[in-house]
Amino acid sequence: MTAKILVGPAGSGKTHQCIQRVLEVLNENPMGPIWVIVPDRLQAYAFRGRISVAGGAIGVHTGTFGDLYHQILWDADEPVPVTSDPMAQRFLQDSIRRVEGIEHFAPISDMPGFHKLLAGTINELKLARVWPDDFIEWTEGQPDGLGEIAQIYRAYQANLADIGWADSAGISWLATESLDGDRSLLHDWPLIVVDGFDSFNGSQRTTLRILSQRSPELLITLPGQEGMDRVAHRRFAKALEGLEAELEAEIEFLPRKETLPPSLDHLEQSLFVPEATPISTGDRLTMLEVRSPREEAREALRWLKSLIIRHGIQAHECAIVAPAPERYRAFLREAGLEFDMRLRFTHGESLASAPAIAALLDLLALPLTDYPRRLTLEAVRAPYFDLKSLGLNRADADRLDVVSRQGLVIQGLDQWEGALKRLALIDLPAAGDKSDSEDGLDLPSGEAATSLWVGLQAFSERLIMPEEGTTQSYVSWFEDLLDDLQFLKEDQTPGDEAAFEGLRGVLRALVLGESVAGEKKTTPMAFFRMLRSFLERANYRERVKWTDSVVLVLRVLEARGLRYKAVAVLGLSEGLFPEVEREDPFLREEMREALGLEKRLEREQGGLFYQAATRADEHLLLTRPTLADDGEHWEPSPFWIAVRAIFEDEPRLLRLGEPRAMADAASMEEALFWAVRRKALPGAYSEDLIERWDYLRRVSPMLHARLEKKAAGPFEGILDGLADQLNVRYGLEHVWSPSRFEAYGSCPHRFLVGSTLELEPIEPPVLGVDARQLGSMLHEILEQAYLNATDPTDLAQVLEALGEVSEEIFAQAPDRYGFRPTALWEVEQDQFRAALEESVEGLDQEGEGWTPIAFERPFGMLGEPPLQMKIDGERILVRGLIDRLDQSVNEQIRVVDYKTGASHLNSRDLIIGHRLQLPIYALAARDALSLGDPVDGFYWAILRAEAGNLRLGKFKHETQVDSYEGTTGAIALARKHVRRIVSGVRGGQFPPIPPQDGCPEFCPAAAWCWRYTPKSW
């Protein structure tokens, strides 16, 4: 029995030595059996390949520690079924329920996040060989909660023992127990090799100790070098120390081999060595700084593609090491698709995030959440289901969308039913080319609406789960549903296939879990929650054949053992790699140490970086993002700084818009993009790209215009070429309104989009009253309250009338104004009523000496003459509705305009031309309605019950040439603005000019305007 530990730096030939030893032993024992234990399947596959090429695969078993444990139990005639992860999760949930008196964790005991953390802790305790009873004893006197974790751990383990199963961590216990108990086991294994590890957990160390006593020869490799005193080797030094404490072994240090290019060799030797003399990176090591992780992903794949094409390196000889895989996965996938490069991610994604599974979960949630509008439309539209057998098809989603907006469907099957049944009673003519609905789709009515409701009803009935049942009965209902809805029957992508397979695995685990743990009645909601939590915890991975030549994307921990010709290590900025270390939420650092668990802090991530950076035999790329998500500078990571310190050359910084060599383009899209930047398409690309190039040439002036600081030209709303048509449309007979003037005054482009093109955003229905509806409602109540009072100057009478009027109008408001009240509608009514009462009282105080003489007084409509503004000898017609007109004893008048909110009611808004209503109304009262001389006017903010700051009578504004004072001055200034606005509209001047405090959300162009500026608060 000999045990040997081979320690050598990266690239020193440790695996090669293992293979040589395997071949030598095979020579003497041709059928072995020889065992080679490696950290993961990837390494097992690679080792098998190498040993086959060397001519010795027969008689050699290559696998992980888990495989070894199974073999031991098999040989001991004690095979044990092992739970899958979802099954283990099921047992854990069951165990939590079984433990009585949980208090500390009671509020979160049902949460998937708690289950996940707990499963991790139990797994770690098991791997460290901390038995449940020992842990219970250990937790006595420890802080609250730890005792509860210990109880759950014991219940979980008892659960497994009761049914004679083990989980993946527990199988090591059983295997080592068998080994301890049966000395005949493994006696015929002449050699056991353990290769590719850089650390071992407690369970693995114990196994190695027993193997060292049992097997004739045990050969273990570790990275490092004699002395193990370098920072880069600390992690391995600890692993060696742990082995030395556990087993007696001869340690052999392998010398370095100078087979690597000079810069990679220097990196291996000098990383984290302060006194190292810097050398040049040469052409084999590239350090690249780019703006973002997305660009890192693109540049890494471009770099690899160039090596594959120009240097003949095969894709499977390349690897990308990405910390924080969730951050990089989407970017790598996106660039891989564009660059036509296949990637194999070694880490899976949450099954619940697979689009088909997410759609399925949303579908199941429909009856539980009572058919919310968006989820219902998405379920009908989803490409993963076929609802024809229920009478619905995907195009019906658009029809239901129109129905939902017309019928204000927000949530609830009864709302869908109400909206569709109302439409079924009428028969609208087909709209043909010009539709009544906003998006060009006919509003279904009559039979079409009936058929939609029949389909939706059948769909909803099919989704009703049994009220109560076992998990197994819910699963079988669910499987029937998948069949009925033809789930994923058409156009499956490889990702869909993998997700579907994962789903089947989860369903199997749910059934199996129940059959071994015992049947229990559950409810639809509990089943849905359990399924969702299992799907969130389960991973899926798109299948790629091992034989396919693809670029590997590895997590940091997987970057060990194997070597590649080209490796890109991403994410060398602060917080990414090394990743931020956080304390274990259950076990503090000193507790972990006492229990023999690996530390969470000071995890020697330097050793992991050493491993990742020394995987390349020929080419290495190190990248880092320089701009954080918030746009701030992103500091380099200590690893980046350490590499920089040992090389002379500065890293390459890729700047935004930096010209690139066309030959470096990794896709046609990129070639086209760079050609546009260079303003020339090289002849070599003409054949493929000329059509798109011509198109881009046509649209490029548009893009340039929009990127200019100052709006100019036809693509920025300067439509002077249309002046003739605009002069006709907005000619002498055109009747303007103050709100149109104001729209142009605040942003000419908003006027173009909203008034000239008459575009309106299509908004989904929302619960409750919107700002426009509220404004109309409050205006109506105030008008009616004053009209109903016999004496509108008598406060008590107006308040009494207000009470009656508001009650009546509020009661009819949902139908009249078309909104679906929220549960707070009653409370809102009280608040609005209180604000209106305050307003009436406030207006009464303002009203001393004034008598209201008109409410909602029109001009230019309802038979009243328009205001005719004579400007530059031209007549401009204006119409409007004056909220209120007051008269003084000497027959002067003032205008009052109600506003719901209190913003933009200042003098400045008139000065800059954003608010023109008040002076125009004053002018209309005098010139169009002949009501007297206007001497004052103000805006009244109803909900604030106060007047705005602009008072026509006190208005004052001076420029270098003009002076404007009082109501006459305000009118003169408004006329000046009107002149500017009318001539701008007629002259086709519609540049987008965001208002100083940001664009209003109600601007019809807000969703797509390239100059949109959010509101500043």
User: Can you give the binding site for ligand SF4, defined by CB under 6 A?
Assistant: 747, 749-750, 992, 994, 999, 1003, 1005-1006, 1009, 1011-1012
Residue with smaller CB distance to ligand SF4, 332 or 985:
985
Residue with smaller CB distance to ligand SF4, 228 or 1005:
1005
What is the Cα–Cα distance from 605 to 611, expressed in whole angstroms? 10
CB of 762 to ligand SF4, least distance (A): 17
CB of 616 to ligand SF4, least distance (A): 50
Residue with smaller CB distance to ligand SF4, 448 or 1003:
1003
Amino acid in the structure at residue 901:
G
How big is the chain, counted in residues?
A: 1017
CB of 1005 to ligand SF4, least distance (A): 4
Residue with smaller CB distance to ligand SF4, 63 or 745:
745
Residue with smaller CB distance to ligand SF4, 628 or 702:
702
> Across-strand partners of 321?
554, 569
CB of 725 to ligand SF4, least distance (A): 21
Residue with smaller CB distance to ligand SF4, 586 or 751:
751
> Across-strand partners of 869?
876
Residue with smaller CB distance to ligand SF4, 409 or 1005:
1005
CB of 1016 to ligand SF4, least distance (A): 13
CB of 742 to ligand SF4, least distance (A): 12
Q: Which residues, 6+ apart, have CB-to-CB distance to 602 below 8 Å?
A: 581
CB of 702 to ligand SF4, least distance (A): 16
**The two structure tokens encoding residue 383:** 């490409």
Residue with smaller CB distance to ligand SF4, 396 or 716:
716
What is the Cα–Cα distance from 471 to 995, expressed in whole angstroms? 59
Residue with smaller CB distance to ligand SF4, 717 or 934:
717
**The two structure tokens encoding residue 631:** 């746009």
CB of 899 to ligand SF4, least distance (A): 19
CB of 904 to ligand SF4, least distance (A): 13
Q: Is 41 exposed, middle or buried (0-12, 13-18, 19+ CB in 10 A)?
A: middle
Q: Where are the alpha helices (DSSP H) in 76-190?
A: 85-98, 112-127, 132-139, 146-163, 170-181
CB of 1011 to ligand SF4, least distance (A): 4
What is the Cα–Cα distance from 540 to 86, expressed in whole angstroms? 13
Q: What is the DSSP string of 771-823?
A: HHHHHHHHHHHHHHHHHHSSSTT-HHHHHHHHHHHHHHHHHHHIIIII-B--T
Residue with smaller CB distance to ligand SF4, 31 or 707:
707
Q: How many CB atoms lie within 10 A of CB 653?
A: 12
**The two structure tokens encoding residue 250:** 């001869």
What is the Cα–Cα distance from 487 to 405, expressed in whole angstroms? 29
CB 992 within 8 A of CB 753: no
Residue with smaller CB distance to ligand SF4, 764 or 998:
998
Residue with smaller CB distance to ligand SF4, 321 or 1003:
1003
CA 497 and chain centroid, separation: 23
What is the Cα–Cα distance from 844 to 792, expressed in whole angstroms? 10
CB 300 within 8 A of CB 554: no
CB of 1010 to ligand SF4, least distance (A): 8
What is the Cα–Cα distance from 475 to 383, expressed in whole angstroms? 23
CB 612 within 8 A of CB 586: no
Amino acid in the structure at residue 364:
L
3-state DSSP assignment of residue 18: helix
CB of 992 to ligand SF4, least distance (A): 4
**The two structure tokens encoding residue 581:** 């270390």
Order of strands, sheet of 343-345, starting from the edge strand that comes earlier in the sequence: 343-345, 551-554, 318-321, 564-569, 616-625, 285-290, 652-653
